[in-house]
Structure 1
Amino acid sequence: MQLSMRWLHDFVEDIPVGNREFAERLTMTGSKVEGWEEEGSELKKVVVGKILEITPHPNADKLQVCQLDVGSGTPLQIVTGAKNVAVGDLVPVALDGSHLHGGVKIKKGKLRGVESNGMLCSVAELGITTHDFPYAIEDGIFILQEDCRVGQDIREAIGYNDTVFEFEITSNRPDCLSVIGLARETAVSFDKPLKLHTPAVKGGHGDVNDLLKVRVEAPDLCARYCARVVKNVRVKPSPRWMRERLRASGVRPINNIVDITNYVMLEYGQPMHAFDQKYLKEQQIVVRRAKEGETIVTLDGVERRLSPDMLVIADQEKPSAVAGVMGGEFSGIMDDTNTIVFESACFAGPSVRITAKKLGMRTDSSARFEKGLDPQNCIPALERACELVELLDAGDVCDGIIDVNNSCGERRKLALESDWINRFLGISISEEEMAQILQKLDFEVKDGVVSVPSFRADIEHKADVAEEIARFYGYDKIPTTLVRGSAQGKLTEEQKFERMVNGTMQALGYSEIMTYSFISPKFYDKIGLPSDSPLRRSVTIANPLGEDTSIMRTIALPSLCEALSRNYLNRNLSAALYEVATEYIPKESDNELPIEKQSLVMGAYGEKADFFTLKGAVEELLDKARVFDYDVQPASDEYAFHPGRCAHLLKEGKVFGVIGELHPQVLENYELGVRACAAVLDFNALFALSDPTRQYQPLPKFPAVTRDLAFVCDDEIPVLKLKRSIAAAAGNRLEKVTLFDVYKGKQVAEGKKSVAFNLVLRSADGTLKDEDADAIVKKVRKALTDLGAELRS
């Protein structure tokens, strides 16, 4: 929205600040200023001159030598090739060292041997057009018909010196897409009175009901439709003051009738249209939905196909305009127009927006309608247009207004809860002060109740009322306080834990994947899930994209297998993937939302991917997660895993994960031609089992003693059981025990295995002697002998 300061001063006088302060104040009160521009600011040293004498150029037939009075006391000589100048004409004169539109600089010089001390200017060289000054010509010198004086700055002489501010208006404030709306904001911002004008129309040239009938057949899309008739229309250029304001607002002046509709749209924020009555069959206007296959040629000359969801303004036979968007080719003002119909209506915003988008034409009118306008503004805007018709002698206004009103004229009412507002904003002002701010904005306040003006449809809640008070109380006056009851801006412990898991997995060489939470029921068959498993009971999506995405997964393993398969089928030689995936466990009642739990799924295939590398990755993760003293036990009943190469992870007897190679049938189902291993860990259980406490240990003062021990034992004895027996026997002097070899071969009997451990022994009290270390080793040997393990010779 572009705002002319000259126009603004009609409503708010004596604004006591400069341009920058004005922009800052309006921005701080909620009307964001994008910038401002002074019209004609690039014109420098261009003045009004009067031609005193014209003589032929002695050396050029097409040039003339002019003597001009530019107010300096001495005639100025300028050579020109223009033929439309005469003695006595007032013209724009660019002096030596002047600047013109487009950055053109003028300096004195000689033309064919004759001195020329400047240049006579056309409208284009001043940065204006013949629309701004209809009496001017495009291809000649601008002969001024303005009331101006010799030597006067050209900007002042032609009114090209307004200051224009550009505002960014948010979609919830269509009232500010008008001069009056921004004037109201300005008046309250600077605590100045707002001078509003009530239009007055004389009329007296017949009855509108004898000349026009209006019928609204789509009241859901047209809240209000108002019309007045003007006879004996006299189409001519608008006066200079109107052309100046339209130009400053970015609108091209055309003629007095069209300019009046644009002027009222800018002043009141109410789009208007003027129909030529002779093109309205049977003098009727019908506001209806378009018919299937109906077309209209709009004012831009393009034929557009309409659909039944579009609103049109029609006569008895065909559409005359697309409601709220653009008129038809015969709805405009022509040279022979005699009688016009002024339309002022309120159309449904969503309808106008959809129509404009479908037709590919967004206009100033549709941009306003689509934001939702005030139906109560239709009559004042219509009256203002007719008042301007009489003021500009553009026609004879008929008596009466046709008003089809389908709107509700009641004001929305909200309680003025001053205590709540003070707490909400963190301020302390009286209810009277709040009421004064609101009343300046045209709110009515009585007995603690706020009546919202009809043009403020965005005020729906007491928080909106509080915002209005905060805007004009001053955001800069509100002290900085912590918002009560709000969460602190930091990660939760669970979020920190998840970030640690992600970082650890990526450090281990696993790439994160993100899969869909909705899957196909067939996925359960591909991983071999038993038909009677409770995991098959899933949440069914009411409007799925297709059968392959029709249910919410209860287990994330199929999604991981799909990702591994996709990589393998795309000829990736190896892959290591993981996901912290959400699973959805339905409750007993279908009306209740499912339980959402997270699982960490990880899988790999390739040359180095086997059960033990996966187990090592899981152990590293558990170590980083500070999950200690867990058990690893063989498992043979996991449907998706190889029965001889699978293990459960347990803590205090409860399973929180499973690791192993995928079942050969699962590999076949997913077209994986290599061995693949996977792990499924209960993420929520991991977080619960994580030990957050960290105990400081000083650096050791005394050297360590190491011993390597190799034992032969039954193949079925888990290494973890041996390791724990060593730790229990060695006591607190055992610093670390590490498995470094497992051997099966010719030197070891059938059904046996050789297991070798490295023991690191250290005493906190002094240097550990050999005899002390040997005593510890003796206890370890006895403990493992009791388990059936013999020291290997």
Structure 2
Amino acid sequence: MLVPIRWLKDFVDVPNDINELSKRLTMSGSNVEGIEHYGKEISNVVIGLITKVEKHPNADKLLVVQVNVGTEELQVVTGATNIKEGDKVPVALHGATIAGGKKIKKSKLRQVESAGMLCSAEELGFDDHGLPKEVQEGIFILPENAPVGADIKEYLNLEDTVIDFEITPNRSDCLSITGMAREVAATFKLDFNVPAICLKEESEKTAQDVAKIYIEAEDLCHRYVARIVEDVVIKPSPLWMQRRLQTCGVRPINNIVDITNYVMLELGQPLHAFDFDKVEGGTIIVRRGKPPEKLDTLDGVTRDLNENMLVIADINKPLAVAGVMGGANSEITPTTTRILLESANFLGSSIRQTSRQLGLRSESSMRFEKGIDPNLCLKAADRACELIEQLGAGKVLKGYVDVFPRKTSSKVVPFNPERINKVLGTDISADEMVDILNRLEIKVNTTSDGFEAIVPSFRMDITQEADIVEEIARIYGYDRLPITLPEGNVTHGRLNSQQKYLNDIKDLLVHNGYSEIYTYSFVSPKVFDNINAPKESDLRQVITLLNPLGEDHSIMRTTLIPNMLDVVSFNLSHKAHDLKLFEVGAVYLPKKLPLEELPYENKRISIGLCGDTIDFYDLKQIIETIFNKLQIRDYKFIQSRHFAFHTGRCACIEIDGQEIGYAGEVHPDVLENYEISKKTYLAELNLDTILSKASRKIVFKPLPKFPASDRDLAIVVKERILADDIISTIKEIGGELLEKVELFDVYQGSQIAKGYKSMAFSLIFRAEDRTLTDKEVNDIIEKIQTGLYEKFDATLRK
């Protein structure tokens, strides 16, 4: 919020020390982001009266001008063509400084002396946007009543200091000059004065006679005030108003539009002026949009309206997007003679949603989004009409139309001074607390239990005692609060077991060359098609966001697979190769749609591998390494099918018979959807289940006293038979004497029949109480061979 000091002084006697002002206001909660000084460098520029204009004797495009500057008459050479005798203009005298620090001296132009320079608006640091075209392209022509010889800085208020305040979202009342003046008055214990509004209402007609207002969407529009002005004269607004708007970052347009902007900045209530002759039936209807309605807004863009948008319309067509921007079909033009002045109060969340959907944000919508006091509507309309009368811009009709379906009342917030002092650690008297609140225009009544604050309607952020504590603390001064050490029981912070297990997993993965990634929980609905998810897949039961950032971030994810593939694709496109990635994140699984309760947040881990030398066994190895780290023993990789993975190259992973996820080679169609040109292997595992199965229990056993007996067993089986099934059978038959079994070779080739494979296992036997004999081991080997033959039709490899 840009606040010019000159404007602020209309309402409060601002301290002269700007640095002290900024410091104190920052400490009271109005953070100062910057201070800008305007017009300070301009000097020795006065108002002059042109008494004579002649052509330059030696140059066709130059003029020789005689100009009276009050104390003397000077000769000035200029190239401007928009001047004539009798014009009053800014004259930079010898030794003057204009905007940008440029110095002006006497000189000769084509052998003719020039005692100074006639100035344009730009050369004075004055935005010429609201001035006539001929003035924009030439010398700044001043009003006829400009006093000759006067300092131009004083006449145009060129010198000013503007403070840029950072206004927090809860303090919408400070998005105005009067709001900041109130803060200055409260902080420095000064008088806050708002002049009374005085209207003449010269027209004999009444607003109720010519205008009708209907609010159909009462849930989105809390109040609508309309005033009517006739005999409107559209012209540039006076220079003082243009200058004030410019220092607040608003470009002047014309007197009517400038007045609406001026009142919005002064009071914080956005206004809008409609050309009343373009409002059919003289009727304003506040309603929701009706698709396929469209509206050409003032920025020249055609907007599609929908039923979620609040619209200002007449009996046949929409006129404006409420609280955001007006329509071109009712804008103020040079031919406008009657206007309807709108001062309304709209629901902030509705304006925010509409602004986001249209991709259109204005000074008006920004204020409505944060919330505005509905009791401000009539005051703002009256203030605008007062300015219209003062500037001779039209005649205001008597009365107004005010539709106020739900009137608001002041909030009453009880508070106790003892509790406030206890919270702040202070010893502020009750009288001082009352004084602070009164300075903030919060009245205080005494009750049997303490006090109650009567909160004015413009302070929508104050709802409970904690808010009263904050108001007293910031005005009293945060820097005056005593410094104390925290009291109470101190709990030693530590990680719980699940957090420790998770850190172990991350450390292990990083140690093995994996990089951790973080991705958004919001994804696009298109991801399910990209990973080939069936239409009936449970993954498509998603939570849709009410206010998404866009289509690509409009739902909550139910799987981590698309996020991992996005990252792999991004890295490959940036020439990164041999990727080893992992992500720990939540997926959001609704118990029922539409949502009636919070969804189940399932924590998962996603592991991705991509490269020329990587295969499925690299992925399997790292998963098994994680299980071994967490002392998870009873796990299985079971050949399975999954829509995102290559057929026949996918495994379902189980722990204690419970499915925890899938691992495999990503399907070529999915890789094509993500523009991935290399084989990619992926796993998505239920981390909550894994952590629940983890253990840190360590069992120590004495070193074996007796030697082991080693045997190798090579068998031939059909190629569809899994090694894990054979190992399970070997362990079952081997019993307690079988200490370990490992697969160390798989062979398919010319020496093995087609459709078969050779598998070689290493078996280690040991007894705890004796040395095993060859006969004992051979008997077990024979039983294993027989069992494998009966179950898998396995034969010894010759």
TM-score normalized with structure 1 length: 0.67
Give 1:43's aligned residue: 42
- Compute the displacement of 1:378 (Å): 0.8
Distance 1:690 1:91, change over 3 A: farther
Give 2:126's aligned residue: 128
For 1:286-685, list aligned pairs within 5 A. Answer: 286-446=285-445, 447=447, 448-483=451-486, 492=495, 494=497, 495=499, 498-499=502-503, 502-503=506-507, 506-507=510-511, 543-544=541-542, 639-640=636-637, 683=691
Residues 247-298 of structure 1: CA deviation (Å, up to 9, x unaligned):
3222233333333222221111111122233222222222222222223333
Letter paired with 2:400:
I
Q: Distance in 1 between matches of 2:267 and 2:680?
A: 74
CA contact (8 A) 2:172 2:367 kept: yes
Give 2:218's aligned residue: 219
- Compute the displacement of 1:31 (Å): 1.7
Please say which of residues 487-496 and 17-26 is displaced more in the overlay.
487-496
Residues 124-153 of structure 1: CA deviation (Å, up to 9, x unaligned):
322325555559723333344466666654
Give 1:23's aligned residue: 22
Distance 1:488 1:472, change over 3 A: farther
Give 2:152's aligned residue: 154
CA contact (8 A) 1:12 1:195 kept: yes
Distance 1:344 1:418, change over 3 A: same
Q: Distance in 2 between matches of 1:65 and 1:299?
A: 43
Q: Distance in 2 between matches of 1:60 and 1:132?
A: 32
Q: Distance in 1 between matches of 2:390 and 2:416?
A: 47
Distance 1:181 1:487, change over 3 A: farther
Letter paired with 1:174:
S
Distance 1:167 1:512, change over 3 A: closer
Residues 483-529 of structure 1: CA deviation (Å, up to 9, x unaligned):
55697796536556754664355335566689999xxxxxxxxxxxx
Distance 1:578 1:417, change over 3 A: same
Give 2:253's aligned residue: 254
Give 1:169's aligned residue: 167
Letter paired with 2:248:
S
- Compute the displacement of 1:787 (Å): 6.2
Q: Distance in 2 between matches of 1:65 and 1:224?
A: 60
Give 1:94's aligned residue: 92
Give 2:524's aligned residue: none
Q: Distance in 2 between matches of 1:666 and 1:366?
A: 50
Please say which of residues 267-276 and 77-86 is displaced more in the overlay.
77-86
2:135 is paired with a residue of what secondary structure?
coil
Give 1:9's aligned residue: 9
Distance 1:496 1:434, change over 3 A: farther
2:169 is paired with a residue of what secondary structure?
coil
Q: Distance in 1 between matches of 2:376 and 2:29?
A: 23
Distance 1:666 1:593, change over 3 A: closer
- Compute the displacement of 1:207 (Å): 2.6
Q: Distance in 2 between matches of 1:152 and 1:421?
A: 56
1:460 is paired with a residue of what secondary structure?
coil
Distance 1:619 1:310, change over 3 A: closer
- Compute the displacement of 1:431 (Å): 3.2
- Compute the displacement of 1:219 (Å): 0.9
Distance 1:55 1:333, change over 3 A: closer
- Compute the displacement of 1:164 (Å): 1.9
Residue 189 of structure 1, aligned match among 184, 187, 190 = 187
Give 1:522's aligned residue: none
Identity of aligned residues (%): 43
Residues 183-225 of structure 1: CA deviation (Å, up to 9, x unaligned):
1111111111111233233436223222122211111111111
Please say which of residues 96-105 and 231-240 is displaced more in the overlay.
96-105
Q: Distance in 2 between matches of 1:338 and 1:612?
A: 80
Q: Distance in 1 between matches of 2:693 and 2:768?
A: 33
Q: Distance in 2 between matches of 1:281 and 1:463?
A: 50
Q: Distance in 1 between matches of 2:351 and 2:126?
A: 34
CA contact (8 A) 1:710 1:754 kept: no
Give 1:723's aligned residue: none
Q: Which runs of 5+ in 2 are unaligned?
A: 522-537, 545-554, 570-575, 640-653, 669-678, 712-761, 775-798
CA contact (8 A) 1:580 1:601 kept: no
Distance 1:497 1:422, change over 3 A: farther
- Compute the displacement of 1:375 (Å): 1.1
CA contact (8 A) 2:556 2:588 kept: no
Residues 722-745 of structure 1: CA deviation (Å, up to 9, x unaligned):
xxxxxxxxxxxxxxxxxxxxxxxx
Residues 449-502 of structure 1: CA deviation (Å, up to 9, x unaligned):
222221122223332222222221211122334455697796536556754664
Distance 1:107 1:579, change over 3 A: closer
TM-score normalized with structure 2 length: 0.66
Q: Distance in 1 between matches of 2:163 and 2:84?
A: 39
Bigger radius of gyration among the two: 1
Distance 1:483 1:407, change over 3 A: farther
Letter paired with 1:197:
P
Q: Distance in 1 between matches of 2:379 and 2:228?
A: 15
Please say which of residues 353-362 and 49-58 is displaced more in the overlay.
49-58
1:226 is paired with a residue of what secondary structure?
strand
